[in-house]
Amino acid sequence: MHGPPRHAMIRNSSLILLRRTVTKPHSESARRSGARRALLSGALLLFVIIDAMKSGFPYPAVHISYRLHIRIHKDIQIVAGALGSCNFTAGDYAYTGSARRNLAARIKRHLSASKTLHWHIDYLLADPNVEIIGVDTSSTPECQWNQQLSGGIPVSGFGASDCRKRCGAHLKSLPP
Ligand SMILES: [Zn+2]
């Protein structure tokens, strides 16, 4: 055949041209939204990296220290093993310790009522007027973390048999 008439071809090509000019802003906005997505995912990645760095990137922060928040409901006297007789007034206390191998098991042991009394803190927690009201953990070494906590020393040397940083005690009395 002779193919389409010439004017039809022109009309077709101008249609194509028209389609191009119409689609151009669309592809421009697609390009922009693609750039926006890239920027967003870049920002998200940066946020994730910063967050990871805050928690000890590239290794996750390992919590080795724990703190028991203790409430003594009334004035008591206990015998804490070799430390002997200790007096405690009613109030809030904090005991800071560490367990390099199994922190969860150590905390569970402190919370358990049936155990062989071994550490000073075991004797205190065995008293019916003493209650653990909260537990915290930290990646800060125990002595450093203990020294960061302001509080009094109710019994010198309490919980500090293994302390090499001169904490005085690992049990502190907290201000009311
Ligand atoms: Zn210490």
Q: In the structure encoding, which two tokens stand for residue 119, read together?
A: 């550490």
- Domain shared by 134 and 73, yes or no: yes
User: Is residue 141 pLDDT above 80, yes or no?
Assistant: yes
DSSP states along 112-136: -SSS---SHHHHHHTSTTEEEEEEE
- Domain shared by 80 and 152, yes or no: yes
**Ligand 1 midpoint to CA 113 (Å):** 26
Of 60, 87, 110, at which residue does a domain stop? 60
Which residues surround the ion ligand 1 when the cut-off is CB under 5 Å?
143, 163, 165, 167
- Domain shared by 54 and 79, yes or no: no
- Check residue 16 and give its pLDDT: 46
Higher pLDDT, 6 or 45: 45
Higher pLDDT, 150 or 41: 150
- Domain shared by 73 and 158, yes or no: yes
**Ligand 1 midpoint to CA 87 (Å):** 21
What is Dmax (Cα atoms) for the chain?
116
Q: Which residues constitute the domain of residue 121? A: 65-173
- Domain shared by 110 and 46, yes or no: no
- Check residue 47 and give its pLDDT: 57
**Ligand 1 midpoint to CA 81 (Å):** 19
User: Is residue 57 pLDDT above 90, yes or no?
Assistant: no
- pTM for the complete prediction? 0.67
Q: In the structure encoding, which two tokens stand for residue 54, read together?
A: 């805050």
The 10s digit of each residue's pLDDT in 100-115 is 889 999 999 999 999 9
- Check residue 98 and give its pLDDT: 96
Q: How many domains is the chain built from?
A: 2
Of 14, 37, 60, at which residue does a domain stop? 60
**Ligand 1 midpoint to CA 163 (Å):** 4
**Ligand 1 midpoint to CA 8 (Å):** 93
Higher pLDDT, 70 or 13: 70
